[in-house]
Chains A and B, each alone.
Chain A
Amino acid sequence: MTLNVKERGDHVATFRWIAVRWMETLARWVPTTPETEAKLAFGTHLWDLAQHADWLGQRTRELRLPVQHSRAPTPEFVNFLDDLGATAATDRRVAAFYDCGLPALERRLRAYVAAVDPLLDGPTVRIVERILFDMERMKREGAELRAELPAVAGVDAGWLEAQRARDASLANVVAPRPAEAVPA
């Protein structure tokens, strides 16, 4: 996969949209999750996601898009995130973010870095590398949360596998531009 400037801008803007969506989801979960430690973990990681969105949003300006430009992913991926965000039980919320949402974004960021020229797209690659570095810490802190609060660690394995399978079925999350949409 070789990406031109427009396609790279679309990817970066899509990643930004996803980061903002997760920031908002964690924010919504903070007052509606009873367990203090989970509340504090979500409150910590919404700031990480806000910074990621900000870094990506500064890069969109350099890729011929407006500053802090977001682009919605494919409707299927938006629905997936909506469903993860609608979970109410704390164990599912923890799994939805640390076992599904975070790995889903991480995998796509790694695929992006593998696909672009690290010299030509160096500024984006550096940003993504910083995000991936943060994500390692976020996952570690998610594991620490579950170690401290075993009650939120025992999510139903069948539910989790179903979410992962759904994510795996959504290969490309960058929505095509309207003019490029394939006619039905």
Chain B
Amino acid sequence: MDRSTIGTIQVRGGVTLRASPAREPSLRVVTDQASMAHPEEGSPEHRREILHGDVHEEIQSLEIAAQSLVDFPEAAWELRLQLARQAWDEVRHARTFLRRLRELGGFRGEFPVIDQEWGLVCMFDSLPGRLAVQNRVFEAGSLDVLKQASDVSRRWGDDVTADVLDTILPDEIQHVRFGNEWLARLRREDPRALLQAVSAMSAARAWIRALAPPGEGSGHDVPENTEDRRDAGFDLA
């Protein structure tokens, strides 16, 4: 694994994360969720802040997929192809969210950003660990979040943003699906992959709890998007 270019940082709760990727000086990068902006719920500023965060999350997902291509050159070509495709999907998503942000009068750099998703996922030095945490935990979580965000946007009368979210959702389903499929295949080929995946998910959950500021909770407290999770390969009761 190529860890030569980006080091580590220690943040809240004594958690060690991969340091931020290279960022433009105009971006205010924070390392603590407590330092993020908290605009009034439903305000125009709040809507822009959500989109601003969406842009940054997509860029982190691009960076994670790209870094996995770098770190695991011996992975099966078909899996590398999926990661490369995911990278392009994340680019398109970032551009789409950025366009919508600008339509609403916002701009990149308007709010602080945080690189915890990148920092956490890129701490794992096995591909099963990365797929488990990035594709099965974070991307699967985005299935729930995107569905809820679409519903909320429509309630706010913002059908344009809701349509954007609805359009991005199928791509995210595919990212979760290929993560699930490849984890199953890697596990069949080498039982250690299961241990790597379970261990990574366990560590990630502990770090996510430790990273949450007091009183803000660490939970993924949005309703589960069962239909899309099932479509992505989760075996739901």
Contact = CB atoms under 8 A, between A and B. Distances in A.
Interface of A: 23-24, 26-28, 30-36, 39-40, 42-44, 46-47, 49-51, 54, 57, 68
A46 B66 contact: yes
| 9 closest A-B pairs by CB | A50-B84, A47-B88, A31-B21, A30-B66, A34-B22, A27-B69, A27-B66, A31-B63, A43-B91
B23 A34 contact: yes
B206 interface: no
A24 B25 CA distance: 26
Contacts of B24: 34-36
A31 B80 CA distance: 17
B23 to A, nearest CB: 6
A49 B21 CA distance: 23
B73 interface: yes
B85 A32 contact: no
Contacts of A39: 59, 62-63
B95 interface: yes
A30 B81 contact: no
Nearest to A29: B66
Given A24-B73, A28-B2, A50 B21 contact: no
A39 B22 CA distance: 10
B87 A47 contact: yes
A127 B23 CA distance: 37
A40 B81 CA distance: 18
B85 to A, nearest CB: 6
Nearest to B25: A34
Given A32-B22, A34-B24, 11 more contacts: A23-B69, A27-B66, A30-B62, A30-B87, A31-B66, A39-B63, A40-B94, A43-B88, A43-B90, A57-B77, A68-B77
Interface in B100-120: 108, 118
A47 B72 CA distance: 16
B60 to A, nearest CB: 9
Contacts of A51: 81, 84
B88 A23 contact: no
A89 B129 CA distance: 32
B22 A40 contact: no
A68 B78 CA distance: 10
7 contacts: A32-B21, A36-B24, A36-B108, A39-B62, A46-B66, A50-B80, A68-B77
B195 interface: no
Nearest to B84: A50
Nearest to B63: A31
Nearest to A26: B66
Contacts of B91: 40, 43-44
Contacts of A34: 22-25
A64 B82 CA distance: 26
A174 to B, nearest CB: 21
A32 B5 CA distance: 8
A24 B77 CA distance: 13
B67 interface: yes
Interface in B1-34: 2, 5-6, 21-25
B84 A28 contact: no
Contacts of B118: 31
B222 interface: no
Contacts of A46: 66, 69, 84, 87-88
